[in-house]
Amino acid sequence: MHLFDNLDSGNGYKVRLLLAQLGRPYEWTNLDLDAGASRTPEFLKRNPNGRIPTLELDDGTCLAESDAILFYLAEGTPLLPMDRLGRAQVLQWMFFEQYSHEPNIAVVRYWMSIAAARPRDSVIEARRNAGYEALDAMERELAEREFLVADRYTIADIALYAYTHVAGDGGFDLSRYAAIARWLDRVATQSDHVQITA
Interaction of residue 78 with its own copies, rule CB under 8 A: no
Q: What are phi and psi of 32, to 5 degrees?
A: -85, 90
Candidate list 19, 69, 180, 196; residue touching its own copies; CB under 8 A:
69
158: nearest Cα among 84, 78, 82, 103: 78
Sheet of strand 62-64: strand arrangement: 27-30, 2-5, 54-56, 62-64
Q: Which is nearer to its own copies, 46 or 197 (CB)?
A: 46
Q: Cβ-count burial of 121 within 10 angstroms (0-12 exposed, 13-18 middle, 19+ buried)?
A: exposed
Select from 1-9, 42-50, 172-180, 183-191 the region that touches its own copies (CB under 8 A): 42-50
Q: Shortest distance, CB of residue 198 to its own copies, whole angstroms?
A: 25
Interaction of residue 157 with its own copies, rule CB under 8 A: no
Interaction of residue 171 with its own copies, rule CB under 8 A: no
Q: What are phi and psi of 118, to 5 degrees?
A: -115, 150
Residue 60 is given by DSSP the state S
Q: Shortest distance, CB of residue 133 to its own copies, whole angstroms?
A: 8
Candidate list 29, 40, 77, 92; residue touching its own copies; CB under 8 A:
92
The CA angle 134-52-110, to the nearest 5 degrees, is 50
Interaction of residue 91 with its own copies, rule CB under 8 A: yes
Q: Cβ-count burial of 59 within 10 angstroms (0-12 exposed, 13-18 middle, 19+ buried)?
A: exposed
**Distance (Å, whole) CA 97 – CA 100:** 6
User: What is the x/- site pattern for its own copies, positions 98-137, by CB under 8 A?
Assistant: xxx-xx------------------------------x--x
Q: Are 105 and 167 in contact (CB under 8 A)?
A: yes
Interaction of residue 75 with its own copies, rule CB under 8 A: yes
User: How many residues belong to the site for its own copies (CB under 8 A)?
Assistant: 37
Interaction of residue 140 with its own copies, rule CB under 8 A: yes
Give residues in contact with its own copies (CB under 8 A).
44, 48-51, 57, 61, 63-69, 71-72, 75, 84-85, 87-89, 91-92, 94-96, 98-100, 102-103, 134, 137-138, 140-141
